[in-house]
Structure 1
C-alpha cells in the first residue's frame, strides 16, 4: 500500500494538520518522508490515530498514550492501566449521576430559593468537600 499524503490523513482521520504535527513533536506518530513539502505517512498511521483518539476520549494523557506503543510502533497496551482507567471512569460516572440527579431535583424543587432546598445544599456541600468532583473543561491548546 502506498504512503498517504498529509491531506489524505487529515481527511480520513478527521484531525487537522496541526494535530498531526503536534503528535509528531510528542513522538506519537512519524512521517515516512516527504513528497515536495508535504509529509507522507504509512497507512498504519490511521489506526494509530484512532488509538490515540480513543485514549484521549477515555481521559489518558498523551504521555500515557505514548507508553501504549512498543518501540517498534506496535500497540502494547498495559491491561492494568486500562482497568485502572475503567475504575476511574466508573467513579466519574457515579459522581456525574449524583450531580445530574441533584440538578434535576433543584430545577423542579418547590422551595422559593435553591439555598433552602436540602438536596441542593447537600450537593453544594459535596462539591465543596470534594466528595463530588465537578468536571472541568480541558484547557485550550493542542489536542
Structure 2
C-alpha cells in the first residue's frame, strides 16, 4: 500500500489533522515525508492511532501512551501499567455505580422532601465522608 497523506489519515482514522500534527509533535506518530505541503504517513499509522485511541479511552495520558512507542520498534505495552489502570477503572466504576444508584433512589424516593428520607440522608452522609476520605488519600502536592 502507498503512503497516505494527512487528509486521508484523518478521514480513515476520524482523528482531525490538527490532532495528527500534535501527535507527531509529541512523538506518538511520525510522518515519512511530504507531498507538497501535506505530510505523508505509512499506512501502519492507522494501527498506531487505534492504539492511541484505545489508551485514551482507558484513561492513559499521552505521555503514558508515548512510553509504549519506543522509536524504531513495535509497541511494548507494560502489563503492570495495564493492571494498575484496570484497578483504577474498577474503583471508578464502583464510585459511578454508587452515584447512579443514589440518583435513581432520589428520583423515585416516595418522601415529599428528600431530607425526610432516611435512605437519602444516609447517601448524603456517605457523600460527605466519602469526599473527606478521598481528599485524605490524595498524595501531597509538591
What TM-score do you get using the length of structure 1 for normalisation? 0.85
Contact 1:68 1:78 in 2 (8 A): yes
Q: 1:125 to 1:73 in 2, by over 3 A?
A: farther
Contact 1:102 1:119 in 2 (8 A): no
Q: Please, which runs of 5 or more residues in structure 2 have no aligned partner?
A: 135-142
Root-mean-square deviation (CA, aligned residues, Å) is 1.7
Structure-2 separation of matches of 1:125 and 1:25: 47
Give the equivalent residue in structure 2 for 1:57. 57
Question: Higher relative contact order at CA 8 Å, sep ≥6: structure 1 or structure 2?
Answer: 1
Give the equivalent residue in structure 1 for 2:82. 82
| Pairing 1:108–2:108 present | yes
What is the Cα deviation at residue 30 of structure 1?
1.1
Deviations 1:39-68 (A, max 9, x none): 100101000000000000000000000011
Q: How does 1:124-135 map to 2 (within 5 A)?
A: 124-130=124-130
* Greater Rg by CA: 2
Q: How does 1:1-143 map to 2 (within 5 A)?
A: 1-130=1-130
Deviations 1:78-103 (A, max 9, x none): 00000001111111111111111111
